[in-house]
Amino acid sequence: MKFKGNLHAHTTRSDGTLTPEESIEKYKKNGYDFLAITDHNMFFPEADEFSDQTFTVFNGCELNFDSKNPNKSHHIVCLEPQANFSLKRSMTPNEATSQIVEHGGLAILAHPAWSLMSFDDCLKLENVVGMEIWNHISHAYTRRGDSAVYADVCAAAGMKTLLFAADDAHFYDIDCFGGYIMVESPSLSKKDLIQSIREGNFYCSQGPEIIRFERHDDMIIADTSPVSSMAFLSDALWAPDRVQMAKSGKDITQGIYSIKPQETFVRLECYDREGKTAWSQIIYL
């Protein structure tokens, strides 16, 4: 079964405009199956009180680590640590991610492009399960929501990472319902969802569906909902079959890409005629 969710949202408990109850209800009404409340530097321990058989709410927070440069910052989304995990503002980013993992939680690097992180900043970050390849509010309000180049540079350097798309909703106007993940999970239980996320059984999207993205011998095969084009991104600087486009105004639903000898990873982006994108996880070769 596939479940749709957003793992990054703010409420009136920090700098959002909706209460947790209002945020949860808004996502429910828009066809989502799960939501993480991730207010700045504070958890949402009441999450289970808002979960039922039809909707799951995750306990989370967004940890802010500001640098000496006022125009650069590390932001880490933390999900579902054990109850005895406590925040310490004096922690470094790596100390925090180490503690998150030790307490059973997930650490996700938020919006590296918006944060003006260097590639070296990302590569030095330890114990993160993944990074946000798309952060919708960062696009909506600053046009810096796309962190795909960070994913590629880090993967090319040998960093294994999962890719996430998230709203990071604050105002609930143009900053929501623009990036989500679709998780393949046995159930909507928190345990099953977290395990499926850890295993990378999900893709990111604004609308298009990725039905299959698999390696078969020396080929990568992608099946999608109808899209106008798709791109197989890798660390090969040139590949003649990288971008595959619809012809004669018709959409395509499958792409086949030949693995190049020098490649160490391949990932998929597909684009529909409304300008919406879907992103796969990375296949490491």
User: CA 187 to CA 192: how far, in whole Å?
Assistant: 6
Q: Which of 145, 177, 205 is the C-terminal boundary of a domain?
A: 205
* Structural domain count of the chain: 2
Distance, in Å, from the CA atom of 183 to the CA atom of 33, rounded to the nearest integer, reads 10
Domain shared by 158 and 24, yes or no? yes
- Regarding whether 155 and 40 lie in a shared domain, the answer is yes
Same domain, yes or no, for 187 and 263? no
- Domain check: are 174 and 197 in the same one? yes
Q: What is the 3-state secondary structure (H, E, C) of 87-137?
A: CCCCCCHHHHHHHHHHCCCEEEECCCCCCCCCHHHHHHCCCCCEEEEEEHH
- Structure confidence at residue 174 (pLDDT): 98
Residue 56 and residue 167 share a domain: yes
Alpha-carbon distance of 36 to 9, in angstroms, equals 6
How many other C-beta atoms lie within 10 A of the C-beta of residue 141?
A: 14
Q: Verify that 38 and 127 share a domain, yes or no.
A: yes
128: domain CATH number? 3.20.20.140
Closest to 133 measured CA to CA, from 227, 8, 235, 258 = 8
Residues 61 and 100 in one domain: yes
- Based on the fold, state whether residues 90 and 197 are members of the same structural domain: yes
Query: Of 172, 205, 238, which one is at a domain's C-terminal end?
Result: 205
> Residue 259 belongs to what domain range?
210-284
CB 74 within 8 A of CB 115: yes
Statement to judge: residues 186 and 268 lie in one domain: no
H or E segment and range at residue 156: helix 148-156
Tell which of 205, 231, 251 closes a domain: 205
C-beta separation of 267 from 233 below 8 A: yes
Tokens of 227: 């899209």
Q: What is the pLDDT of residue 176?
A: 97
Cβ of 245: how many Cβ atoms within 10 Å?
12
Tell me the pLDDT of the chain (285 aa) as tens digits. 999 999 999 999 999 999 999 999 999 999 999 999 999 999 999 999 999 999 999 999 999 987 667 777 899 999 999 988 887 778 899 999 999 999 999 999 999 999 999 999 999 999 999 999 999 999 999 999 999 999 999 999 999 999 999 999 999 999 999 999 999 999 999 999 999 999 999 999 999 999 999 999 999 999 999 999 999 999 999 999 999 999 888 999 999 999 999 999 999 999 999 999 999 999 999
Residue 220 sits in a domain whose CATH number is 2.60.40
Q: What is the pTM of this model?
A: 0.97
